[in-house]
């Protein structure tokens, strides 16, 4: 069980770490209302020996495309990835906070924070953002993927908007395009077998097909005609980037099948 870092007090009696806050709804900069930039669809699927995380590159604000090279799959430590959807600014603050907390715990306690402790820290920062999220700014939903060195198994966790966590046996998805493809995950499992029995190559192909379908059905999700998606894997060897060359080869094979 991870130590609750909020119970570690400095000599002045204040918490060493406070979950990052977000500007109050309606706040403005130089008289202009804040624009909350959002990342959209992210997907995590297991394969035989690890987890693949895939995200499109589009970031939107209202109905505008703000950026088309956004990174939505971010490492928290050597064996943990956070795939983000929703408020990009809030997500970046949370990632910086969690990296600091995990590293501080490891250095002060001379051991890594437990998996349950990491999951609890993430739940706390999601819950801390609920008041702003309820008013339409600062909400985000992550997928937490890791390789559990204690059990030797890849694991995927997802959260609701209030911070409740759930573990998936096969896959996870978040973002505006996830609703349109949710049933396709189950179709793949029932027709092609569980993701955790697939090879890395097969699981990557299925994840990219799902992302392509989401881009077709959701205007906020970017496809790959302009920029390739971002993909990372976690296994017993740690986190590895899927190369652009490999992504291009898989994307081209999918396009040939569709053509």
Reported as a single tens digit per residue, the pLDDT across 166-186 is 999 999 999 888 888 999 999
CA–CA gap between residue 103 and residue 254 (Å, rounded): 40
The least confident of 36-40, 70-74, 90-94, 117-121 is 36-40
Residue 211: its pLDDT value, please?
94
Give the DSSP H or E segment for 121: helix 115-128
31 assigned to some structural domain: no
CA–CA gap between residue 238 and residue 86 (Å, rounded): 26
Cα four-point dihedral sign 179, 147, 77, 68: negative
The angle subtended at Cα 86 by Cα 92 and Cα 233, nearest 5°, is 65
- Is the per-residue pLDDT at 25 higher than 70? no
Task: Give the residue-averaged pLDDT of 202-224.
Answer: 91
Note the pTM of the prediction, 2 decimals.
0.82
Tell me which residue of 110, 87, 113 sits closest to 35, measured CA to CA. Answer: 87
Indicate which residue of 40, 41, 60, 80 is catalytic. 40
DSSP code at position 134: H
Which range, 2-16, 173-187, 196-210, has the best average confidence (pLDDT)? Answer: 196-210
DSSP code at position 229: P
Residue 169: its pLDDT value, please?
93
Residue 187: its pLDDT value, please?
95
Q: Is 175 left (phi over 0), alpha (psi -120 to 50) or beta?
A: left
Domain span at residue 191 reads 37-258
CATH of the domain at 173: 3.60.20.10
What is the secondary structure of 40-94 as a DSSP string? --EEEEEETTEEEEEE---EEETTEEEES----EEEEETTEEEEEEEEHHHHHHH
For 130, residues 6+ apart whose C-beta sits below 8 A from its C-beta are 139, 161, 162, 163
- Is the per-residue pLDDT at 163 higher than 90? no
113 assigned to some structural domain: yes
Residue 16: its pLDDT value, please?
46
Percent of the chain exceeding pLDDT 90 equals 56
Q: Which tokens go with 147?
A: 């390789």
Residue 183: its pLDDT value, please?
93
Terminal-to-terminal C-alpha distance of the chain: 51
Give residue-wise pLDDT tens across range 30-88.
444 556 666 679 999 999 999 999 999 888 877 777 778 888 999 999 999 999 888 88
15 assigned to some structural domain: no
The chain-wide mean pLDDT, for the chain, equals 84
Note if 40 is an active site residue.
yes
6 assigned to some structural domain: no
- Is the per-residue pLDDT at 15 higher than 70? no
- Is the per-residue pLDDT at 19 higher than 90? no
The answer to whether 53 and 232 have CB atoms below 8 angstroms apart is yes
Residue 251: its pLDDT value, please?
93
120 assigned to some structural domain: yes
The answer to whether 170 and 71 have CB atoms below 8 angstroms apart is no
Q: Total structural domains in the chain? A: 1
For 143, residues 6+ apart whose C-beta sits below 8 A from its C-beta are 42, 43, 44, 53, 82, 83, 156, 157, 158, 172, 173, 174
105 assigned to some structural domain: yes
Residue 23: its pLDDT value, please?
46
């Amino acid at each position: 069980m991870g130590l609750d870092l909020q119970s570690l007090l400095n000599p002045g009696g204040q918490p060493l770490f406070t979950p990052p806050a977000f500007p109050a709804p309606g706040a403005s900069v130089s008289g202009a209302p804040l624009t909350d930039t959002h990342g959209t669809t992210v997907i995590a699927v297991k394969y035989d020996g690890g987890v693949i995380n895939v995200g499109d590159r589009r970031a939107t604000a209202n109905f505008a495309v703000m950026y088309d090279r956004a990174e939505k799959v971010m490492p928290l430590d050597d064996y943990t990835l956070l795939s983000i959807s929703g408020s990009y600014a809030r997500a970046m603050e949370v990632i910086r906070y969690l990296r600091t907390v995990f590293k501080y715990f490891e250095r002060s306690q001379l051991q890594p924070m437990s998996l349950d402790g990491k999951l609890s820290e993430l739940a706390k920062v999601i819950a801390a953002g609920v008041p702003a999220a309820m008013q339409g700014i600062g909400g985000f939903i992550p997928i937490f993927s890791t390789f559990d060195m204690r059990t030797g198994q890849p694991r995927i966790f997802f959260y609701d908007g209030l911070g409740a966590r759930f573990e998936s046996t096969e896959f996870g998805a978040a973002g505006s395009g996830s609703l349109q493809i949710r049933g396709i995950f189950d179709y793949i499992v029932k027709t092609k077998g569980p993701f955790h029995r697939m090879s890395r190559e097969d699981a990557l192909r299925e994840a990219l097909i799902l992302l392509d379908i989401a881009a077709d059905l959701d205007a906020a999700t970017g496809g790959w005609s302009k920029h390739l998606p971002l993909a990372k894997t976690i296994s017993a060897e740690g986190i590895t980037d899927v190369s652009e060359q490999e992504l291009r080869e898989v994307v081209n094979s999918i396009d040939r099948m569709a053509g």
